[in-house]
Amino acid sequence: MGVNNLVFLENIEWFDETGAELVHRIPEEGSGEIKYGAQLTVRESQAGIFFYKGKAVGAFGAGRHTLKTGNIPILTKLASLPWAMNSPLRAEVYMVNLKVFPNLKWGTRDPVAFKDSELGLIRLRAFGVFNLQVVQPVLLINTMVGTKNMFSTAEIEEYLNRVIVSRFNDYMGQTLDSILNLPAKYDELSEGLSDRLTKDFGHFGIRLTHLYINAITPPPEVQKAIDDRSRMGVFKDMEKLMQMKAAMAMEKASETGEGGGGMGMGTSLGLMMPAMFAQYFAGSRGEARRQPDADGSRCPECQQPVSMDAKFCPHCGHQQVVFDQCAQCGKNLTPNARFCSRCGHAVEEKPKPKSCVKCGTENLEDSVFCNQCGEKL
């Protein structure tokens, strides 16, 4: 990247050879000079987002578009100088891939702390897969790029992974006293987690279509302790222990058998959520309720089905492109709103990460339990 980093853009288009890019910035190295009247070509399953002064200000669907002030109305208010024939605009375009991204992996990079009523403070690993689809590309760009300074697909995926792990940790803390009770609580845990993340991802303009917890693994010492304790017979509840052992045995079986899925579990014992549990989660319950029609979308305000190319909801009149959401109450906001019309929260005021009073670790904005030490925040 040179000092003289001027890129003049006349023809803007993007073809994703990898099929794995969620967002792509043009020009790649930052903002460029976009000529008045530049051509923007948006392919099927893409959206072209015009980004100016740290904000997504316009969205373009599939087709060929001529970029000018007239089709980006907010620009008139934001730009101090008129965008005209001989003065290009310093701006960027984000291409957003609107297809479904299947089988993205999530997992704990570092094990999360969990206060277990029977085993003490333990560290758990967990991983699984999820599917996502961007349904509000402007909102995605405004939250990820505009607010969190995340520009690449890798950064965004990394952040979403943090969100999943943090919520997983919260749900473990809230629904479970001991991992020995996990087999009995698994459904409650995965349903709660999925519902919560559906809301979380919605704030980023993303629809979470599936989420699986493939495995929750206590560290080897705990596995050994479970073994030792059972040998000594100190468990209060032998039935729980038998369930736990059964789950572990199933994991062993799945490692040697066809299952496993190459998730890098190694050979250590763990509490695997075998396919039979995952299937249940993917099954009829909840799925039908959450899954919108395959070929349509839903109004972000009233949740009624709306055709993909509608600008306004025929049921409630709400604008279909969401520019921003209230960080406090989640209300969809108009592009230039400074305060939320529902709760009065200042739009500029974004939530701050929560520092743990005990260990000082920064956790996500509204986490409930510290990932590092398991302390309630």
Taking each helix axis as running N to C, give the angle between helix 238-256 and helix 182-202, from 0 to 180 degrees, rounded to the nearest 10.
70
Q: Given the complex with Zn ion, which of 254 and 367 has the nearer CB atom?
A: 367
Contact, 333 vs 323, CB < 8 A? Answer: yes
- How many residues belong to the site for Zn ion (CB under 5 A)? 23
Q: Which is nearer to Zn ion, 12 or 124 (CB)?
A: 124
| CB-based burial, 282-319: b 16+ in 10 Å, e otherwise | eeeebeeeeeeeeeebbbbbeeeebeeeeeebeeeeeb
Nearest distance from residue 225's CB to Zn ion, in Å? 23
Q: How far is the CB of 371 from Zn ion (least distance, A)?
A: 8
Per-residue mark of binding to Zn ion, 97-136 (x: CB under 5 A): ----------------------------------------
CB of 54 to Zn ion, least distance (A): 21
**Cβ closer to Zn ion: 185 or 203?**
203
Q: Where are the beta strands (DSSP E) in the chain?
A: 8-13, 23-26, 32-42, 46-52, 55-60, 63-66, 89-97, 101-107, 112-116, 120-134, 206-217, 271-272, 297-298, 305-306, 324-325, 332-333, 354-355, 362-363
Which residue, 51 or 369, is less far from Zn ion as judged by CB?
369
Q: How far apart are CA 76 and CA 110, in angstroms?
A: 47
State the Cα–Cα distance between residues 320 and 340, nearest whole angstrom: 18
Nearest to 81 by CA among 69, 72, 92, 93: 69
Least distance from Zn ion to the Cβ atom of residue 303, Å = 7
Letters for 156-175 (x = contact with Zn ion by CB under 5 A, - = none) are --------------------
- Nearer residue to Zn ion within complex by CB, 123 or 245: 123
For Zn ion, the binding residue among 356, 364, 367, 369 (CB under 5 A) is: 356
Residue 124 tokens read as 């758990």
Measured from the CB of residue 1, what is the shortest distance to Zn ion in angstroms? 38
Three-state helix/strand/coil letters over 264-306: CCCCCCCEECCHHHHHHHHCHHHHHHHCCCCCCEECCCCCCEE
Q: Which is nearer to Zn ion, 255 or 375 (CB)?
A: 375
16 or 301: CB nearest Zn ion: 301
What distances in angstroms separate CA 244 from CA 88, 114, 250, one per listed residue?
65, 17, 10
Site string for Zn ion, 324-353 (x = CB under 5 A): --x-xx-x--------x-xx-x--------
Q: Does 370 bind Zn ion (CB under 5 A)?
A: yes
Closest listed residue to residue 259, CA positions, set 244, 272, 246, 242:
272
Give the x/- contact pattern for Zn ion in 260-299, rule: CB under 5 A.
---------------------------------------x
Site string for Zn ion, 300-329 (x = CB under 5 A): -xx----------x-xx-x-------x-xx
CB of 294 to Zn ion, least distance (A): 20
Q: What phi and psi values does residue 334 have, to the nearest 5 degrees?
A: -75, 160
Give the footprint of Zn ion on residues 8-67 (CB under 5 A).
Answer: none
DSSP annotation of 64 reads E
Contact at 8 Å (CB) between 345 and 329? yes
Answer for the pair 121, 113: CB distance below 8 angstroms, yes or no: yes
**Residue among 6 and 343 whose Cβ is closer to Zn ion:** 343
In the bound complex, what is the minimum distance in angstroms from residue 189's beta carbon to Zn ion? 22
The residues of the shown chain that bind Zn ion, judged by CB under 5 A, are 299, 301-302, 313, 315-316, 318, 326, 328-329, 331, 340, 342-343, 345, 356, 358-359, 361, 370, 372-373, 375
